[in-house]
Structure 1
Amino acid sequence: MSRATRIDFNASPRPTLGVEWEVVLVDRRTRDLSSSAAEVMAALELPDDPAGPRVTKELLRNTVEVVTGVCDTVAQAAEQLSTSLGAIRRVTDALGLEVVCAGTHPFGVFDNQLVSDDPRYAELLERTQWWGRQLLIWGVHVHVGVDSVHKVLPILNTLLNHYPHLQALSASSPYWAGTDTGFASNRSQMFQQLPTAGLPFQFGEWGEFEGYVDDMLVTGVIDGLSDVRWDIRPSPKLGTIEVRVCDGTPTLRELRALTALVHCLVVHLDGELEAGRELPTMPPWHVQENKWRSARYGLDAEIIVDAAGRERLVTDDLDDWLTRLEPVAKRLHCEDELRLVPGIPALGASYQRQRAVFEAASAAGSAHPLVDVVDSLVAEMREG
């Protein structure tokens, strides 16, 4: 791509939906990570449909990514994910493996992991060295179709106001290599160390984004648009905004809730633009502080909610937004899924549940309480 090359946004005629769910392979006996993705992929039996759901490899061979096709509703996306996960289980059950998902594995370490055979992955690790070798992290990515390139950056910039809500709800990475980090989402802090990862710049016009990408290409920071690994980013080829905020989600129930929340937020903001209203934004330093607060404190975070610096408990602000989004959820046929969102704070987010298991196992004299945490993640994934 030269400096004169445009980045064409392949606009979506309707607010379609796509989900990418990174799931983790663990040994049934030890509960440690298992670099068995190649064997699982080779044995998988899924319909050969380029436009349909699929399972793909990832950076590490302990991971497979479950990807939907283009969907219209959260229910459709969830059905595809469930079907693909069932196909994976038929293979992993025979291989003595379990499937889990969280932002991090409680006690896994990189030195024991195998990297997928791909020149892009080899180049990433060669460049990023120690930080790249720490990428034992997993997440959920949600794509929502947008019908005009002129809406993409305004929606993206305002979605940053909702970053802490999504991160607090999905936080599932309190442990790192056997240690409690004190964070609800340690994954978010690890991933942002990579070049071009982390929070996006708040560009006002599409041309500014094109200029940024050109500069990154000319200076060798990236080789292609996919190397821009922002937490929220445009996906021009697909005609979507891709929300990559969420930690790996341990259950399909929580995944349905978070997907519905993202879908409703994007469509709500689109509707505000259609009505001629300007979307609210916050200074980058407020956005950055909110990311840190929600990563550190999760559902107990006091977040900044507007450019004036007003603060609220993240769950209080979330409650108001869920009420505001009810009409949007009805139009998108995801009322049931959006109603699952309050259940996450009520039952405890994953980081809270993991710590509760660890404390209970430790109090009961377990020799390996972090293995008990993985046991709980295995059970949650199976129960859904």
Structure 2
Amino acid sequence: MDIDFNSSPGPSLGIEVELELVDHETGELASAASSILSELGAGHPEGEHPKAKHELFECTVEIITGVCTTVAEARDDLQRTLDEVGGAAASRGLDLMCSGTHPYSSWHDQQVSPDPRYTKLVEEMQWMARRLQIFGVHVHVGIKSPEKAIAIANAMAGYIPHLLALTASSPYWEGHDTGLASSRSKVFEGLPTAGLPAPLESWPEFEQFMETLVSSEAISTVREVWWDIRPHPDFGTVELRMCDGIPTLGEISAVAALAQCLVTHLDTLFDRGFTLPKHREWVLRQNKWRAGRHGLEAEIIVDEAGTQQPVRQTILDLMAEMAPMAERLGCEAELARVERILIDGASYQRQRAVVAEGASGAQGLRPVVDLLVAEMASDRPGVLPSSR
């Protein structure tokens, strides 16, 4: 199978954000995406808004950027679409929020979006797809060649725990504390083509693997390979998919800055003739588990001897290492915002801070929804509404 890679001329940036639609009165997920998208699509070709899309369930609207050069440009792009979706949601008595999972809504109650590919997915995957009441943020960074995309994706796998720990926002599942920082990461791994990326040596090997998956009817298209990191041939990017939903645009921008800096740094090393690192599968699996379980309190493995280091410290070290690249890319302020996440706490920590000890169910976890809605509306982490 020959797969064309639409190479990007530089380290372009694209961001996808899966928004939850929640009822203002109950805080429950609301199946209103088709209604909102129909309104927003009016006047656009084929009645479809170019930057607001369906996802698997009707309780989700995905907003996407165009091809951007800087993080600031991407943020402004997201803000414009977010404002449109927010206005349409408000007129229906709905609020917006973004987190890895909803704290208490049930996946049993969610309606599948009216798209044949989603119907096919649910038919094939059954319970594994029906329970995908999860929400994420994906970051694309442009790459010049398919060979680079493979090498950079392999190297970027080592940063899965860093990005997952920073964005972990799904401690609750169907009304109960899971004990995890990111339950989303474990739910998503239930799909056979999701989770850690397959270790590949070259673009021809990627093409062969995709051909095998298609010919064996494991997938219909390359789009159905949902690895935490994957080459995206159509966009000419490396796509990072490990992040939970992120509650504020400021935090989304911070994570996008770190991602763009890391990918561009590896791209530069590749151009200079360096062999990019590859990682042992057992180390990747263990480190992802630790980040999903403990979040920013995780101790991750940093070498094959089993040496451990606090993920907080490795993130601070990364920020220092990426500072020159951030200056080059014009995202110094956004990268610096990563440290605020370490200080303010990641979303899973902020969510638990507003819940009474032992609380569960819709009543006990309603403060989490109020927090997440307020954070999205104010673009400030930890800001609670003065009253409901």
Compute the TM-score of the two structures, normalised by the length of structure 1: 0.95
Structure 1 stretches of 4+ with a deviation exceeding 2 A read 45-50, 306-310, 359-362
Contact (CA 8 Å) 2:137, 2:241: kept in 1 or not?
yes
Aligned to 1:138: 135
CA distance in 2, matches of 1:293, 1:233: 21
2:212 is the alignment partner of 1:215: yes
Per-residue deviation, 1:47: 7.8
Deviations 1:119-176 (A, max 9, x none): 1111111111111111000000100000111111111111011110000000000000
2:76 is the alignment partner of 1:79: yes
2:368 is the alignment partner of 1:370: no
- SS of the equivalent of 1:13 reads coil
2:280 is the alignment partner of 1:288: no
Which stretch shifts more, 166-175 or 190-199?
Answer: 190-199
The one-letter code sitting in structure 2 at the alignment partner of 1:6 is: D
1:234 to 216, 231, 234: 231
Aligned to 1:21: 17
CA distance in 2, matches of 1:366, 1:224: 39
CA distance in 1, matches of 2:356, 2:42: 40
CA distance in 2, matches of 1:103, 1:338: 22
The residue correspondences of 1:176-215 to structure 2 (distance < 5 A) are 176-215=173-212
CA distance in 1, matches of 2:42, 2:64: 12
Aligned to 2:6: 10
CA distance in 1, matches of 2:43, 2:67: 15
2:221 is the alignment partner of 1:224: yes
Contact (CA 8 Å) 2:139, 2:241: kept in 1 or not?
yes
Aligned to 1:164: 161
Contact (CA 8 Å) 1:281, 1:307: kept in 2 or not?
no
Per-residue deviation, 1:33: 0.4
Contact (CA 8 Å) 2:104, 2:361: kept in 1 or not?
no
- Residues 223 and 349 of structure 1: is their aligned pair in 2 closer, same or farther, counting only changes over 3 Å? same
The one-letter code sitting in structure 2 at the alignment partner of 1:382 is: A
Contact (CA 8 Å) 2:108, 2:131: kept in 1 or not?
no
- SS of the equivalent of 2:338 reads coil
Contact (CA 8 Å) 2:175, 2:362: kept in 1 or not?
no
The residue correspondences of 1:245-260 to structure 2 (distance < 5 A) are 245-260=242-257
Deviations 1:40-60 (A, max 9, x none): 11222688489x961001110
Aligned to 2:40: 44
CA distance in 2, matches of 1:203, 1:367: 44
The one-letter code sitting in structure 1 at the alignment partner of 2:109 is: N
CA distance in 1, matches of 2:266, 2:293: 28
Per-residue deviation, 1:361: 10
1:383 to 367, 371, 378: 378
The one-letter code sitting in structure 1 at the alignment partner of 2:25 is: R
Aligned to 1:322: 319
The sequence identity of aligned pairs, in percent, is 47
1:305 to 302, 307, 331: 302
Aligned to 2:121: 124
The one-letter code sitting in structure 2 at the alignment partner of 1:202 is: P
- SS of the equivalent of 2:8 reads coil
CA distance in 1, matches of 2:222, 2:329: 30
- SS of the equivalent of 1:369 reads helix
Contact (CA 8 Å) 2:174, 2:361: kept in 1 or not?
no
The one-letter code sitting in structure 2 at the alignment partner of 1:374 is: V
Aligned to 2:383: none
Structure 1 residue runs without a partner (length 5+) = none
- SS of the equivalent of 1:267 reads helix
Per-residue deviation, 1:307: 3.7
- The size of the alignment, in residue pairs, is 377
The one-letter code sitting in structure 2 at the alignment partner of 1:182 is: G
CA distance in 1, matches of 2:10, 2:125: 38
Contact (CA 8 Å) 1:104, 1:173: kept in 2 or not?
yes
CA distance in 2, matches of 1:309, 1:336: 34
CA distance in 2, matches of 1:340, 1:46: 37
Per-residue deviation, 1:367: 8.4
Structure 2 residue runs without a partner (length 5+) = 380-388
Per-residue deviation, 1:309: 3.0
Deviations 1:182-220 (A, max 9, x none): 000000000011121111111111111111111101110
CA distance in 2, matches of 1:349, 1:47: 39
CA distance in 1, matches of 2:377, 2:357: 21
CA distance in 2, matches of 1:354, 1:73: 30
Contact (CA 8 Å) 2:176, 2:361: kept in 1 or not?
no
The one-letter code sitting in structure 2 at the alignment partner of 1:134 is: R
2:31 to 22, 28, 35: 35
Per-residue deviation, 1:359: 2.6
The one-letter code sitting in structure 1 at the alignment partner of 2:24 is: R
- RMSD of the TM alignment (CA)? 1.8
